[in-house]
Structure 1
Amino acid sequence: MADSAAVLDAPRSSVRRVTLAVAAAGVCSFTLLYAPQAVLPQLAEQYALDPGRASLAVSVATGALAVAVLPIAVLSEIVGRRPVILTSVLASAALGLVLPFAPSFEVLLALRVLQGVAIAGFPGVASAYLAERLGRSGVAAAVGAMIAGNTLGGMLGRLTAGFTTDWLGWRGALTAVGSVALVCALVTVATLPGVPRRDTGRPRLRGVVAGLGVAVRDPLLVAQYAVAMLGMGSFVALYNVAGFRLTGQPLNLSTAVASLVFLAYAVGTLASASSGRLVARFGRRRSLLAGIGATAAGAALTLPDSLVAVAAGFLVFTFGFFTAHSVANGWAAAEAPPGARGQVSGLYNLAYYLGSSVGGTLGSVVYGHAGWGWLVATVVGWQALAMLSSRPPRRRAARTPRG
């Protein structure tokens, strides 16, 4: 691994280049991953689907990402972080431009599965890449900046799709999203620097497997995986059906106006970018608990049939979720042993996107059968479990795996 001091002595322009490249990759990946969320009501109408089945357009991609992210993270230990990230953004952008031409919902789902696998190369590797480029001391702020870019991508994809659906249709809207993602992918290709080779060379398979063992045995790391799964499941569950609630009775908004709910992602960007300062002042555990508590409180605020209450609730909910996610992700990255960084990153993202896939679908089913109130109760329950999970048992000393 490159010595962190070498990074600290690097020119500012080099650090800015890393930031630009990773931010562009995040925008590309998350613009594509969640753009269909904004057009779920249109997909449901065209294909005569209930909310739960329509939500598969999101869930199959995040589920495929969850399955693929750990093998790809392990692969990056062998072939390097940069080739994996570049392949990820280019392949996912290309699939984004093919997706709108799917002739049926089943074909669309198949393409989304492939896209989820392609996208997995960025989130599964990015934290490890940043840790190797910037060192342990700078990883909290770096991960916060990366997640801020991811948040911007998620907001941009949803808003682009939401605002263009009324006059381009959902196919034209997803084409517009794919075009934005391709531009961001090309920026990443042009600017992403590599990571210097370790003096010991690439790790052998036995070392990779040993690192995976460390990553699953450490109770402090396992606690962060649990927080990621429960938090992301709650987040996607609420946003998956936001369009149905806002365009239905009694709020009855247009698709374009309802898509403004995704502007709440702006506070998510703020929360992610400020997480490093929050941790420095209050510590990781208190910052994590504050983020989880705000997530639950924001969900509860959306209960009244009032546009002001719903908007305020989504703002608090989004700020809380991204605070908790940034703290947990940075904590996992900082505590990962040098020989297990890719594995820890992969496991964190496995939990995160498994939560997105399973939680998003379960939440949509709860809403379709029981309504918004029961969905909010489910989300609050998941956050209570996240609070309990954030207090792991006493940590055992972890052995650094050998290559």
Structure 2
Amino acid sequence: MVKLQFAVFALVSASFTNVYLTQPILPVLQAEFGVSTVQVSITVSAVILGIVLSNLFFGFLSDRFPIQPIILTGGILVAAAGIYAGLTHDFHHLVGARLMQGLFLPALTTSLAAWLAKTLPSERLSVVMGSYVSATVLGGLGGRLLGGWIHPPLHWRYAFFSAAALILLTTIAALIVLPRKAVREQSTANTSTTFSSLIRRKDLLLIYCCGGGAFLMFSPVFNFLPYRLAGPPFHFPTELITLIYLVYVLGIFLGPIAGQMSNRFGGGTALIGGTCILGLSHLTLLLPSVIAIVLGLLGVCAGFFTIHAVAVGLLNKKLAGGHGKANALYVLFYYAGGWLGITGAGFAFQRNGWHGVVFFVMCFLLVPLTTGIIEYRALRTQARSAPDQFHSL
């Protein structure tokens, strides 16, 4: 059990390290390749777009084929694309390599999660999936730190080589540790549920949009943060900009806390609270103060991870079956929101700078807020009807 938990944690962490590898060095890449702000941001959004395009496909494959060849193929191609990204001097080739990484990252993440859901007994699944979620947070942070801290003493290209080596090592470890045979079978409810039936449910569609909207508002802030801190009045070097990304660690602790808040006060109340924190934190980021930036980023992390954790919890509570497909759809909306956010905020930044980015993302606060209000009203309606049902007996 411990070996499996460690293998899952290591592979998922290494996978997510690749997603945000270029984020803290976007100004460096822009200067080296002579491209615009919008163009250089594609080195991040191309990975997210690749995940969006292939996520459901790899979820489909993991239901029908052994997991080992899927992981092996994904690990080799993600690592190879990373090595190519570190070697190329053509910007278009760099973007193509990043897109290739995104297309095959779900072979290491989505496929693994789906395989775990159908393979492990429920008591072991909850423990291993806890490691999976923590790994996504640490991997995202690790990529930012790797890209930002390796650049100054060496070169940003070495970050790609290091990430590729991590992918290969963790892929080999996973192939050795993962059991060859399933421990349990899928339930009838899981196999009979279709993607179309899930997407037609209005309550689930709201949650999908909530997760996508939250990531849409979160990802551009950290994507264009290096430009904000490298310019006036801060003029931070790359190492110091990268250090600011440590606020991301907050996400490791906020998941369980948000779950407790949802259980105590209701998912709707937690979503409304998280949205309010997110909106106020975005406004704080407009202040020309280092303290305001740090507090604003902490608030953005608090608001985002609260919304994200509560949305995932609500999604799975509403399901009687088809959890794997439903969560795959959530991931699809989630990363589609991230891609749209980074792309749209790139044009907003080009037109109005940092203020443009902040006001652009704040336009979407209505999405999780509306979801929270609807969930709050639904909970109150259930509470009112419960006594009536009792008296009618």
What TM-score does the superposition give when structure 1 sets the normalisation length? 0.84
Aligned partner of 2:95 in structure 1 is 109
SS at match of 1:251: coil
User: Identical aligned pairs, as a percentage?
Assistant: 25
Query: In the alignment, what sits opposite 1:295?
Result: 278
Aligned pair partner of 1:154 in 140, 143, 152 = 140
- Higher Rg: 2
Q: CA deviation at 1:325?
A: 1.3
Equivalent position SS for 1:371: helix
1:37 corresponds to which of 19, 23, 45: 23
SS of 1:108's equivalent in the other structure is helix
Question: How far has the Cα of 1:337 moved from its partner?
Answer: 4.2
Query: Is the deviation greater in 67-76 or in 156-165?
Result: 67-76
1:398: which partner in 2?
none
Aligned pair count reads 376
C-alpha contact 1:72 1:121 (8 A) present in aligned 2: yes
Structure 2 residue corresponding to 1:163, chosen from 143, 149, 157: 149
Look up the match of 1:57: 43
Deviations 1:94-148 (A, max 9, x none): 4323320123111111111111011123443455445445667887776554222
In the aligned structure 1, how far is the partner of 2:302 from the partner of 2:241?
19
What is the 5 A alignment of 1:72-151? 72-79=58-65, 84-85=70-71, 87-132=73-118, 143=129, 145-151=131-137
Post-superposition offset of 1:159: 0.5
Report if aligned partners of 1:59, 1:360 keep a CA contact under 8 Å in 2: yes
The 3-state SS of whatever aligns with 2:155 is: helix
Question: Is residue 346 from structure 1 mapped to residue 328 from structure 2 by the alignment?
Answer: yes
Q: Residue 283 of structure 2 contacts residue 358 of structure 2 at CA under 8 Å; is this kept in 1? A: yes
User: Residue 229 of structure 1 aligns with which residue?
Assistant: 212
C-alpha separation in 1, matches of 2:35 and 2:362: 27
Q: Which residue is 1:377 aligned to?
A: 359
Equivalent residue, structure 1, for 2:32: 46
Assess if the C-alpha contact under 8 Å between 2:120 and 2:182 holds in 1: no
Q: TM-score of the superposition, structure 2-length normalised?
A: 0.86
**What is the aligned partner in structure 2 of residue 22 from structure 1?**
8
Q: CA deviation at 1:353?
A: 1.0
Moved more, 16-25 or 355-364: 16-25
Q: Could you tell me which of 147, 155, 163 is aligned with 1:177? A: 163
In structure 2, list runs of 5 or more residues that go unmatched.
380-393
CA apart distance, 1:247: 0.8
Q: Which moved more, 1:57-66 or 1:113-122?
A: 113-122
> Could you say which residue in structure 1 is the equivalent of 2:244?
261
Distance across 2 between alignment mates of 1:335 and 1:86: 34
1:373/1:199 Cα in 2 relative to 1: closer, same or farther (>3 Å)?
closer
CA spacing shift, 1:301–1:134, aligned 2, 3 Å = farther
Alignment check: 8 A CA contact 1:66 1:350 kept: yes
Provide the rounded CA distance (Å) in 2 between the counterparts of 1:85 and 1:291. Answer: 36
Give the root-mean-square deviation of aligned CA atoms: 2.9
Distance 1:284 1:88 in 2: 36
* Deviation for aligned residue 1:87: 4.1
Residues 260, 115 of structure 1: alpha-carbon distance in 2 compared, 3 angstrom cutoff: same
Aligned to 1:358: 340
Per-residue CA shift, 1:132-183, capped at 9, x if unaligned?
4566788777655422210101101110110111122221232223333333
Equivalent AA in structure 1 for residue 178 of structure 2: L
Change (3 A) 1:183 1:283: farther
Aligned to 1:8: none
Q: 1:51, CA displacement in angstroms?
A: 1.4
Matched, 1:328 2:311: yes
* SS at structure 2 position matched to 1:168: coil
Alignment check: 8 A CA contact 1:64 1:114 kept: yes
SS of residue paired to 1:378: helix
